Chain A
Amino acid sequence: AQSVTQLGSHVSVSEGALVLLRCNYSSSVPPYLFWYVQYPNQGLQLLLKYTTGATLVKGINGFEAEFKKSETSFHLTKPSAHMSDAAEYFCAVSGGKTSYDKVIFGPGTSLSVIP
């Protein structure tokens, strides 16, 4: 069975500071890994994904994540937080056996950006 944990249900950072959202997963097969973001009153938007290849993945809005197999981690970072980054972030995994497997989500981390 696959699962996802996210350390910290709420994270606050100052504007311009580093954003680090932690994600660890468990999977018995090589996983596909995702970060989704949900802005207030909007749907889920894909930030970035890892399937195969390069372990450092760049996404939209300046975010990136690194797949570390030895640590079963896929932490999300952004060098400098912007007020518009305030949202809820979900780490997710899918089976990887087939590219259309269901997605298993973590509990989410709510990011606040302090001016």
Chain B
Amino acid sequence: EAGVTQFPSHSVIEKGQTVTLRCDPISGHDNLYWYRRVMGKEIKFLLHFVKESKQDESGMPNNRFLAERTGGTYSTLKVQPAELEDSGVYFCASSRRTGTTNNEQFFGPGTRLTVL
């Protein structure tokens, strides 16, 4: 089966612009997660979807970040307006439906965002 895919792989934008990142989870995976790693810091959880619903968005840094998962398939993460401190690598992960005992999260390759 195909893995988690993310688009674009790299994005370079200027401060104040808008960027939209996309994640396509593994087919059939109800759970979708966003994480990010800013320069020199740990990989941090941003939010978790179960199908199209936000299960946990406690890691979203501020209201410049908007995540959606319409239809419970792919997800987008929009940053508007982007700030310098948003630079980093944004990872997406997916896992099978809840209630299973072996619910490994599979990670995508990440999107490297650079804000100038």
Same assembly: yes
Residues of A within 8 A of B (CB): 36, 42-46, 49, 51, 90, 98-100, 102-108
Q: Flag if B45 contacts A104 (CB, 8 Å).
A: yes
Smallest CB separation, B30 vs chain A (Å): 9
Q: Any chain A CB within 8 A of the CB of B104?
A: yes
Cβ distance B83 to chain A, nearest Cβ, rounded Å: 23
| Option from B48, B95, B107 in Cβ contact (under 8 Å) with A36 | B107
Does B87 make an interface contact (CB < 8 A)? no
Could you show 8 A-B contacts with beta carbons less than 8 Å apart? Answer: A43-B4, A45-B107, A46-B107, A98-B98, A99-B102, A102-B33, A102-B45, A103-B93
How many Å lie between the Cα of A107 and that of B108 in the bound state? 19
Provide the bound-state CA to CA distance between A103 and B44, in Å. Answer: 8
Residues of B within 8 A of A51 (CB): 101-102
Contact B98 A100 (CB under 8 A): yes
Whether the pair A108, B42 counts as a contact (CB closer than 8 A) is yes
* Residue B74 is within 8 A (CB to CB) of chain A in the complex: no
Q: Which of B84-104 contact A (CB under 8 A)?
A: 91, 93, 95, 98, 100-104
**Min CB gap B110→A, angstroms:** 6
Given known contacts A99-B102, A100-B31, A102-B33, A43 and B107 CB-to-CB distance under 8 angstroms = yes
Q: How far is the CA of A98 from the CA of B101 in the complex (A)?
A: 9
B43 within 8 A of partner (CB): yes
